[in-house]
C-alpha cells in the first residue's frame, strides 16, 4: 500500500529520492567542473604547451571508451547506489593523492596524465549508473522533466564554472580547488545514499530481454546487439544521435577560433555566455512543459533549427548575429538532447540500462574524439587555405562566404549545418519520426 501511494504521488511530483540524487550529482559536478578548468589553467601556466594541454584533455576522455562496456555490465549486476558512492570515494582518494603532491610542491604533468586517466575510468562506471538510477526512481511520465533538470545543472555549470574557477585560482590556487572538489564529492555521496535510502536497492536481478534470445546476456556489446536486433528502429536512433552529435561537437569546438578570427577574447566570452543562457532556458522550458507527446517529432524539429543556426553562424561575421545564432542553437539543442535522452530511458528496460547506456556513451565519446582531432586538422590544412587569398575556393565560394582568416572554418559550419538539416529531414520522412509509437515503452521504471 505504501508503495502504491508513493507511485501515485510521483505522478504529480518527482519526489524526494530523485531530488536528492539530482542534488548529489549536481554538487559532485560542481567540484569536477571547477577542477577541470583549474587543471587546464595549471597545465598551460606550468608548461606553456598546447600539446600538453590537449594531451591532458584526451587522457580524460579516451580511457573511458575502452572500459565502458565492462563498466556497464557491472552497473547492471550490482546495486547502483554503491557503484556511484564507490566511484565518488575513489575519486576522493585520488584527489587526496593529488593534494599531497601539491602540498609537497612535487606535482608534475605526468601525475596529471595518470590522474585524468583514473578519473576517466571512474566516470565510465559513474555515468551509466547515474543515468539508469534516474529512470529507476521515476515513472516514465517524469523522464522528460528529469532530463530538463539534468540539463539545467550542466548548463548552469558551463556558464559559471570557468568564471568561478578562474577567480578561485587567483585567490586560493589549485590547492584550494582540490579541497573544494574533495568536499563536493563527499557531500554528493551522502546525498546519493540518502536518495536510495527511501527506495531500497537501485537495481534488480539480471533478467532476459527474451527467453528465446538468450538465457543470460551479460556483456554490454552482446546485450546491445540483442536489444537492437529486437528493436532495429532504436539502432537508427543511435545512428541519428551520433551523426547529429558529431556536427554539434564540431560546431562547439570550432566556434572559438571562428569568433576569435574577427573578435576579441572578451567578445567570445559574451557570445558563449549568451549561448549558455540559451541552453539554460531550453532545459528549463523542457522541465516546465512536463510530459510531451511524440518526443521524436520534437527532437527532429529542434535539430532542424539547431542545424540552421550552425549554418547561419558560418555565413555571417556579425557580432549580434553570432549572439542570436548561438543563443538559439543552444536553446533548441538542450531541448532536443533532453527529448532524446527521455526516449532512451523510456525504451530501454531499466535492468539493462547500465550496459546499453555504456555502449551509447562509447559511441558518443568516440565521435567527440574523432571530430575534435579531424576538425582542427581540416580547418588548418584544407578549409582555411582554400578560402585564403589565392586559395582554391576564393573565386567560387569566396563571394558568398568571404575570404581571409576564419572563413574556411565558416565553410565548415555551412557544410555541417546543411548536412544536419538533411539528416533531420530524412528522419521526418522515415519511420524514425514515429519511433514513439512503433517501439513500445519498457516496463515502468518504478516497477519492481
d(CA 298, CA 278): 17
Where does residue 351 fall: left (phi above 0), alpha (psi -120 to 50 degrees), or beta otherwise? Answer: alpha
Please say whether the beta carbons of 262 and 303 come within 8 A.
no
Q: What confidence category does residue 210 fall into, taking pLDDT thresholds of 50, 70 and 90?
A: very low
Amino acid 203: pLDDT? 41
Q: What is the DSSP letter of 290?
A: -
Amino acid 3: pLDDT? 41
Q: What is the largest CA-CA distance in the chain?
A: 77
Where does residue 292 fall: left (phi above 0), alpha (psi -120 to 50 degrees), or beta otherwise? Answer: beta
Q: What is the DSSP letter of 445?
A: T
Question: 318 phi and psi, to 5 degrees?
Answer: -80, 130
Query: Which of 410, 411, 404, 409 lies closest to 380 in space, CA to CA?
Result: 409
Give me the chain's average pLDDT, please.
Answer: 76
d(CA 205, CA 422): 43
Q: Give the number of other Cβ atoms within 10 Å of residue 267's Cβ.
A: 15
- At 78, list the grid cell: 550490482
d(CA 369, CA 218): 27
d(CA 131, CA 68): 14
Please say whether the beta carbons of 338 and 148 come within 8 A.
yes
Please say if the pLDDT value at position 125 is more than 90. Answer: no
Amino acid 208: pLDDT? 42
The pTM of the full predicted model, rounded to 2 decimals, is 0.67
In 43-119, at which residue ranges do the beta strands (DSSP E only) sit?
none
Amino acid 198: pLDDT? 61
Query: What is the gyration radius of the CA atoms in the chain, in angstroms?
Result: 22
Q: Give the number of other Cβ atoms within 10 Å of residue 78's Cβ.
A: 17
Task: Write the pLDDT tens digit of every residue in 377-436.
Answer: 777 777 777 777 766 776 677 667 766 777 778 888 888 889 889 999 998 999 988 888
Task: Write the pLDDT tens digit of every residue in 76-113.
Answer: 777 777 788 888 888 888 888 988 888 888 888 888 88
Amino acid at each position: 500500500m505504501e508503495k502504491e501511494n508513493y507511485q501515485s504521488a510521483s505522478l504529480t511530483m518527482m519526489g524526494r529520492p530523485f531530488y536528492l540524487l539530482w542534488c548529489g550529482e549536481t554538487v559532485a559536478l560542481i567540484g569536477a567542473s571547477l577542477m577541470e578548468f583549474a587543471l587546464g589553467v595549471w597545465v598551460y601556466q606550468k608548461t606553456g604547451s598546447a600539446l600538453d594541454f590537449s594531451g591532458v584533455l584526451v587522457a580524460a576522455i579516451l580511457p573511458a571508451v575502452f572500459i565502458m562496456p565492462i563498466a556497464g555490465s557491472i552497473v547492471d549486476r550490482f546495486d547502483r547506489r554503491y557503484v556511484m558512492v564507490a566511484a565518488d570515494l575513489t575519486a576522493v582518494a585520488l584527489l587526496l593523492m593529488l593534494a599531497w603532491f601539491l602540498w609537497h610542491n612535487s606535482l608534475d604533468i605526468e601525475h596529471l596524465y595518470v590522474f585524468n586517466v583514473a578519473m576517466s575510468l571512474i566516470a565510465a562506471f559513474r555515468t551509466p549508473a547515474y543515468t539508469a538510477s534516474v529512470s529507476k526512481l521515476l515513472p516514465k511520465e517524469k523522464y522528460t522533466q528529469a532530463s530538463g533538470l539534468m540539463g539545467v545543472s550542466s548548463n548552469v555549470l558551463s556558464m559559471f564554472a570557468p568564471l568561478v574557477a578562474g577567480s578561485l585560482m587567483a585567490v586560493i590556487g589549485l590547492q584550494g580547488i582540490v579541497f573544494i572538489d574533495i568536499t563536493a564529492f563527499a557531500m554528493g555521496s551522502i546525498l546519493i545514499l540518502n536518495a536510495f535510502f527511501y527506495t531500497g536497492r537501485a537495481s534488480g536481478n539480471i533478467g532476459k530481454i527474451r527467453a528465446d534470445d538468450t538465457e543470460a546476456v551479460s556483456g554490454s556489446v552482446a546485450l546491445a546487439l540483442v536489444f537492437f536486433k529486437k528493436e532495429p528502429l532504436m539502432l537508427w536512433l543511435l545512428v541519428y544521435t551520433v551523426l547529429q552529435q558529431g556536427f554539434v561537437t564540431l560546431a562547439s569546438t570550432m566556434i572559438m577560433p571562428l569568433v576569435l578570427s574577427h573578435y576579441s577574447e572578451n567578445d567570445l566570452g559574451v557570445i558563449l555566455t549568451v549561448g549558455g543562457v540559451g541552453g539554460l532556458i531550453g532545459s528549463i522550458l523542457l522541465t516546465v512543459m512536463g510530459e510531451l507527446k511524440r518526443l521524436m517529432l520534437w527532437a527532429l524539429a529542434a535539430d532542424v533549427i539547431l542545424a540552421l543556426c550552425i549554418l547561419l553562424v558560418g555565413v555571417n561575421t556579425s557580432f549580434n548575429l553570432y549572439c542570436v545564432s548561438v543563443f538559439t542553437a543552444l536553446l533548441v539543442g538542450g531541448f532536443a538532447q533532453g527529448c532524446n535522452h527521455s526516449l532512451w530511458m523510456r525504451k530501454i528496460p531499466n535492468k539493462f540500462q547500465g550496459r546499453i547506456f555504456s555502449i551509447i556513451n562509447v559511441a558518443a565519446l568516440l565521435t567527440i574524439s574523432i571530430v575534435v582531432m579531424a576538425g582542427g586538422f581540416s580547418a588548418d590544412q584544407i578549409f582555411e587555405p582554400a578560402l585564403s587569398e589565392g586559395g582554391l575556393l576564393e573565386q567560387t565560394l569566396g563571394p558568398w562566404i568571404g575570404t581571409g582568416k576564419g572563413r574556411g572554418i565558416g565553410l565548415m559550419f555551412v557544410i555541417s549545418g546543411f548536412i544536419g538539416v538533411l539528416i533531420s529531414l530524412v528522419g521526418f520522412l522515415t519511420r524514425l519520426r514515429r519511433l514513439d509509437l512503433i517501439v513500445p515503452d519498457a516496463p515502468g521504471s518504478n516497477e519492481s
